Amino acid sequence: MMSLLRRGNKSAGIAAIVNLIISLIKGAAFMLTGNVAMFAETMHSLGDAANQLFVFVGSALSKKRPNDRYPNGFGRVVNLVLLFAVIIVGIMSYEAIKEGIHHILQPTESKGIWISISVLTAAVILEAFVMFKAMKEVIHETNAEAKGLSIIPKSFANLSKAKPATKLVFMEDLVATLGGVIAIIGILLSFYVGFHAAEGIASVIIGVMMFYVVGRVFLDNAKGVLGEADDELEAKIAAFIFTNEDIKDIKTLFAMKEGEDYHIEMKLEIDPSISVSRAINIKKSIEQHIQNMPGVTDVIIEFEEDDQIATWEKVNSTPIG
């Protein structure tokens, strides 16, 4: 079991530990100050910690080897775990919004401003550190090239191609960092301007941002559970296949994303005049090339005799290297 857990998403594991520590510190600060923006941030960090723990365990379990009962493996486990995890974030979001609205309607002056500001500033720095680690993970998973500060824009540009667990950690830490800044602004407005409802407004904004993460994660992982096809990968594979002159057409081609991995299936039409040994060599060559792609776990290829009817359009495709 421990060897399996070591294969869990590292960004999620680090984020879970950091957010648990942050949530405990924020919770203590809320008890001392009664600050509603601090309450929202406590709920946020606690939800993120629990969420990211589920993500870490789920990403590890998804790497379990197939067995007789589950011959297709456990790749989609991470999607199922993430769907469950968003429920936790949703509950925390609701609590943050509810408390924020209550404070807007009945604003009260909180105390211990510098305790709140100090805790939130430290939390923002830690969250930013974890987010930068997630950015580097995005760069690594998508095979992008970036160093130093160029990692920041590159990670945003390639986020959609990252693994589900890494995407979740990235979005949660982005919202957590922005939420900390918003909470600080709300507290400062309350203390220096006397606009006490600002803390409640900050709490509502933080809750709404959390709901945004819930929505994004739910939609992304619902697709993963159902087995979403990757159109871009299919086009690249098709372009490579057509570099072989003996392949006359592609009858079907599916690049299905199962959790963090890809399952590739295809039915190809070949020149009926080629020998069996030549067909076997072509199949092995295609399998080997695609198996070397990051994330691909298995490739299934079937051959049919060319029916002289074009099925696959050879457009907008770039061969894979």
Angle between helices 113-141 and 151-158 (to 10 degrees): 70
Tens of pLDDT, residues 250-286: 888 888 776 566 778 888 888 888 888 888 888 888 8
Predicted confidence at residue 206, as pLDDT, reads 85
| Structural domains of the chain, ranges and CATH numbers in brackets | 2-226 (1.20.1510.10), 231-305 (3.30.70.1350)
Question: CB of 210 within 8 A of CB of 89?
Answer: yes
Query: Going by DSSP bridges, is the β-strand pair 261-270/247-258 parallel, antiparallel, or unpaired?
Result: antiparallel
What pLDDT tens digit does each residue of the chain (321 aa) get?
555 556 666 767 777 888 888 888 888 888 888 888 788 888 878 877 877 787 777 777 766 766 666 656 666 676 777 777 777 778 878 888 888 898 898 887 777 788 888 888 988 888 888 788 888 888 887 778 888 888 888 988 888 777 766 777 788 788 888 888 998 998 899 888 888 888 889 889 988 888 887 777 777 666 665 556 667 778 888 888 888 888 888 888 888 776 566 778 888 888 888 888 888 888 888 888 888 877 777 788 888 888 888 888 654 444 444
DSSP state of 271: -
Neighbouring residues of 70: CB distance < 8 A, sequence distance ≥ 6: none
CA-closest candidate to residue 168, choices 220, 245, 108: 220
CA-closest candidate to residue 151, choices 185, 128, 119: 128
Map residue 294 onto helix, strand or coil: coil
Predicted confidence at residue 73, as pLDDT, reads 61
Map residue 296 onto helix, strand or coil: strand
Predicted confidence at residue 319, as pLDDT, reads 42
Distance, in Å, from the CA atom of 15 to the CA atom of 313, rounded to the nearest integer, reads: 44
Q: What are phi and psi of 305, to 5 degrees?
A: -70, 140
Distance, in Å, from the CA atom of 188 to the CA atom of 251, rounded to the nearest integer, reads: 64
Predicted confidence at residue 318, as pLDDT, reads 44
